[in-house]
Amino acid sequence: MARARNIKPGFFRNADLVELSFEARLLFIGLWTIADRAGRLEDRPKQIKMDVFPADNIDCEAILGQLEAINMIERYSHGGAKYIQVVTFTKHQNPHKDEKASTLPDRDGNIAQPKEAPCKHRASTVQEQCDDETSTVAIGLIPESCSLIPESRILTPEPTTKEEKPARAPRKPSHPKPDDVSQQVWDDWLELRRKKSAPVTATVLAEAKAEAIKAGLAFERFLAIWCARGSQGLQADWLRPHERGSPQSTTDANAEAARILGFKPQEIINA
């Protein structure tokens, strides 16, 4: 079974490896992924090719010979079986603590026994349990590389459920609906003001009523025309002839508009 391994930047600048072909360098990396935690694997070139180069036409036996020639691997036999040892594998790799111990013999026929890791505070695939029974958590760091190991069963905290914020109460209109305006027209006009980011105040309503009087229109009709135009504001002078109501003298219209706006009689200016 293939395993996740660590590649250090120095690999690409190794004086011996740079003299080899691309295939040889890539095969060397591939050997790490199929070797056990002691860096050993069975010396079966055809199977190794299927594991690393399943769709490529390469001579795996010849490439293994190249790697052996520069002492990157050792090829040996024991008990009638052939094996490969990746040299300095344990120096550069830090297998996951749950990875099974090697069952393959070394050159001398010895099989390594798993060692208990001491209690040390260092970056590793997973921190070992300390003797003082202090709880530890997986941190997923490879020494000297600060890289995360994929497929290393890194523990992650359970997602916390965000507290739901209470729904906002709908905004109340800043001014009540006038009695002479239907609810539909009023709602349409408020929505238009909202889209235009324009306030609805007593002063705005008073000016609108004054313009409606100047135009000779009922206030509801004036607001309906305003909504149809979709403009931020509307004045009587902007209305087209067919939009206006019954003719009204300018003096009377201005006087009524001034009354609505709260002007004093002496302040009225006849047009």
CATH number of the domain that 47 lies in? 1.10.10.10
Among residues 37, 59, 92, the one where a domain terminates is 92
pLDDT for 147 beyond 50: no
Strand (E) positions, the chain? 40-42, 73-78, 81-86
The torsion of the CA quartet 213, 217, 222, 224, rounded to 10 degrees, works out to: 160
For 199, the domain range is 183-267
Spatial CB neighbours of 27, under 8 Å, sequence gap ≥ 6: 48, 52, 53, 58, 60, 63, 64, 67
- Which amino acid, 206? A
Asked if residue 171 is part of any domain, the answer here is no
Among residues 51, 77, 92, the one where a domain terminates is 92
Q: What is the pLDDT of residue 156?
A: 53
* 52-84 pLDDT per residue, tens: 999 999 999 999 999 999 999 999 999 899 999
Q: Which two tokens stand for residue 125?
A: 């695939």
Contact 86, 40 (CB under 8 A): yes
* 103-139 pLDDT per residue, tens: 898 888 888 665 554 544 444 444 444 444 444 444 3
Q: What is the pLDDT of residue 54?
A: 92
